[in-house]
Amino acid sequence: MNYLVQEKHSGERIDKFLVGVMENVSRTDVQKLIAAGEVKVGGAPASKNFRVETGMVVVVEKLIEKPSSTLEPEDIPLDIVYEDEDIVVLNKPRNLVVHPGSGVSKGTLAAGLLHHFKDNLSAVNGPLRPGIVHRLDKDTPGLMVVAKNDAAHRHLAHQLETRTLHRTYNALVWGCPRDLEGCIDAPIGRNPKNRLKMAVVKGGKESRTHFVAKQFFAIATLLELQLESGRTHQIRVHTRYTGHPVVGDPLYDGREESLNRVPPLMKEIAEKMLEIAPAQLLQAVKIELIHPRTGKKMKFKVPMEEPFAKVLKLLKKECPADAPVFDEEEGFHEFDADIRFDEGFDDELDEESLDKFDECVFPELKERKTRAQRHAEKAATAAHRRAKAAERKLIRQMKSARRKGISAEDFVEPGYEPTIDPDLL
């Protein structure tokens, strides 16, 4: 099959061009054809990054043969938020797989859609994914949009690609992120040590997650997140990468692995929190899109699911906290509950006196010192300076805490320190 490039398509990537001119194919199908060498320009196989120009003829020698559908309709209840002749917005429950795959063939959202809407679903993504434009993880509940025809599907897919379709998530993460808002920009790919998991890896796909801290607790923080890209497990991987896994996440250190960051007095609350959380406390709470037919902007929102709301209620009652404060010298730091100080310190202690080195520590010797002795003295001097620096920092923390009216009983031993994947250093 030959396709002539018109002027309006000049400069487009070849996979995007073919999706626009071919019928009933997805971008994934086209990329498979390119990888197989079935797409040629000027007699030579085209690369995946090739950009077409006006007047070129793109030749597709063979089409991908899609597997025949083995999907059977199933009467699965659907929580439909909105429906018209083009789209369906629904609230996917927890513990429901979106489409068949990875050993799952029955009990999927796709089978439920087929039962409810029969042939009134788009076929762009093949017979096993009728109407499916995007997906959510099995244990991530929340809003999804489904296409009832191919034209609506392509319009929504284009919105995803151009980032005009916005999905907003809420996630409860362990601890408090150092930055109260920002963007996690780290490439995601298959974990080389465990193929069932994803990870931040060199050479992974470009991935960005924007976040804002909304509510604060002594052991956790509620984040609002938006995806700039849509990689598998993206939010769960990115929050784990920053040292703050999603609470309850069984795959990315969000359960018992994170209990060591909790102060002893809070451990019982943390354990109760994990008992309530069936899996990761992550939910797609809002979706904004442009209607494929009318061009009207539409917004949909759902309340927190019951386990998520129950955990937040527990935290508000047992361990509420204020937002971290900004210190001009140290910037944002962890919750004040992580500071520890001694009542014996004097507010008026002269910090400059700590800079003076005790000359009696190493008395001057008349005889020549050995090399080992000189090294030992240097090590001891460095250790002494580090101790004094730590003491000065502790005094600053103590003064800052007292200015805020915090008593000594409120302070505990500092807990977990975030880590960064050493492969990216």
Catalytic positions, written as ranges: 137
- Write the DSSP assignment of 70-125 as a string of letters: ----------EEEE-SSEEEEEEPTT-BSSSBTTB-SSBHHHHHHHHHTT-S--TT
Q: How far apart are CA 121 and CA 385, in angstroms?
A: 70
C-alpha 205: how far from chain center: 14
Tokens of 395: 């005094």
In degrees, rounded to 5, the angle at the alpha carbon of residue 315 between the alpha carbons of residues 314 and 318 is 85
Q: Which residues of 234-259 are buried (b: 16+ CB within 10 A; e: fewer)?
A: bbbbbbbbbbbbbbbbebbebbeebe
In degrees, rounded to 5, the angle at the alpha carbon of residue 38 between the alpha carbons of residues 53 and 230 is 75
DSSP 8-state secondary structure symbol assigned to residue 257: G
Q: Could you give the residue ranges of the DSSP H alpha helices within 232-301?
A: 234-241, 267-276
Q: How far apart are CA 277 and CA 140, in angstroms?
A: 12
Q: Could you give the residue ranges of the DSSP H alpha helices within 39-188?
A: 109-117, 150-162
DSSP E strand boundaries for 291-404? 297-301, 326-327, 331-332
DSSP 8-state secondary structure symbol assigned to residue 293: T
* Cβ neighbours of residue 146 closer than 8 Å, sequence gap 6 or more: 87, 88, 89, 90, 113, 121, 131, 132, 133
Q: Are 269 and 319 in contact (CB under 8 A)?
A: yes
Tokens of 373: 């002795």
Sign of the dihedral through C-alpha 126, 130, 134, 140: negative
Q: How far apart are CA 315 and CA 309, in angstroms?
A: 10
Tokens 């005889």, located at residue: 367
